[in-house]
Each structure stands twice: as structure tokens, then as C-alpha cells.
Structure 1
Amino acid sequence: MNYATFHADGTLHQRLIKGTHEIPKGAVEVDSALWLRLIQETDGVWSITTEGKITKQPLPSAPQTREDVERLRLAAYAEPVLGSDRYFAEANRMQTMGEAGWEAVRDAGIARFHEIQARYPWPESQGAQ
């Protein structure tokens, strides 16, 4: 069972897992579909309405610097489940150990790498490198 707590202003405070965390009084139980969104979608501010509905408000779009984009890309590459680095590490291990199929894993890593780059493009004013 998964739970969330919220600040007094309604914004998300904590995401908690029963059995791993102590669940405080007033925590809201969250179903598995919403839980995945809460932990994966970082493109907005999660909050709870006075009616108890959990919603996400988009972040204001601010111009990003090259350093901002680089930070986002590096975090996305390294993300353990959805990142590209895991594919490259697995392909490297497979190739080193003489296992078949490492090329397909490497190709999946390359595809994910390009998806991440497309999701976080360089600021237009600074150009791509």
C-alpha cells in the first residue's frame, strides 16, 4: 500500500510505502496507477484539492540554460528503470562475458539515449553540441 502526505498549502510533501515507512495520521492512500505517476512525472507540482482529489499543475515554463538541460539529461540517462545507462552496462557485461544478444541491448540503449535527448533539447539560443 502506498501513501502520500501533503503540506498545509496542499502541495505534495512525501510519498510513503507501508512496511517501509511509518505512515502518519492524515496520509492519503494512493492506488498503484497514481503512485507510478507520483514517482515518475516530475514535470509539475502535485497537490491535493479540498475535495481530496490529487492533481498535477504544470510547472511554469522558464528558459533553461545549457547546464539545466545537461543536469536533466544526466539524471534521465542514469535513472535505474527508464534510463539508457542500464542498457549500456548490460550490453557491456554481456559482451565481456561472451553472451549472445548484446547488440540488441546496446541498440535499445542507443534508442533510449536519443529519446532522452529529444525530450530535453538544448536551448535554441545556445545551439546543440
Structure 2
Amino acid sequence: MSVRHTNVCDTASCEIRDLLDRLSEKWSLLVVELLGEGRSRFGELHRDIPEISQRMLTLTLRTLERDGMVERTVHPVVPPRVDYDLTPLGRSLLTMIEPMVAWTREHRAEIEKARDDYDAKATEPAPK
């Protein structure tokens, strides 16, 4: 039996892995979920995610915009007003995220109990 040695980066899977890595970053899916509720300004998003720094929110929005998930609209007013909204591509991603978010909410208590049980075992003294 021969063994296949495929260089993963020689295939399109490198692009897939790159996109999945970016979408699974800490803030990306949360921003997509929030924008699923409708167009938002930067300050509104920042208020809705108080744990994120302004810099990280900016980077996350730029990455999502670059990937075609988010549309940035600058309004020609003083001071400038910038809105963010999901593109059709971003909305299609949202349809994939919503079941995962619902599953997480439904199983939150079970997950918390499993973590507590695991942590309790990890702190038990070793048997002699």
C-alpha cells in the first residue's frame, strides 16, 4: 500500500484554512452576528462588545470587509459618519452561524457543568 504525501498548501485547502482561521478568530463571528441585527456604526458595535479594543474592532471589521462579508459606507457629513452592514455574502454566513449560536445557548448549562466537573477533577489531590 502506498502512502500519499500531499502538500496541503499545494491545494485550494490553504485558502479554505486561511478563511476559516479568520472567521474563527475571537471577534469575527460575534461582529457578524451583531450586524445581522442591522446596520451599525462603529461606536454602536463597540458598545455592544465592551471587551473588544477599538483597534481590534477596526482590524476585525477591515478583515470582514476585505473578505466581502461586511460593507463599509462613509457618509459625506461633518463629522464623518461610517456605517457597517452585512453584504449578501455576509448574510449567507449568518445563516450558518445562527444554528451554532442557538445550539450554544441551548447547551450553555451542560457545557458549564462539564467545565466545572473537569476543573474539580483537575484540582483533586493525586491518589497515594
TM-score normalised according to structure 2 size: 0.24
The structure where strand makes up a greater share of residues is: 1
Looking at secondary structure, tell me which structure has more helix per residue.
2
Query: Rg bigger for which structure?
Result: 2
What TM-score results when the alignment is normalised by the length of structure 1? Answer: 0.24
Larger relative contact order (Cα-Cα within 8 Å, sequence gap ≥ 6): 2
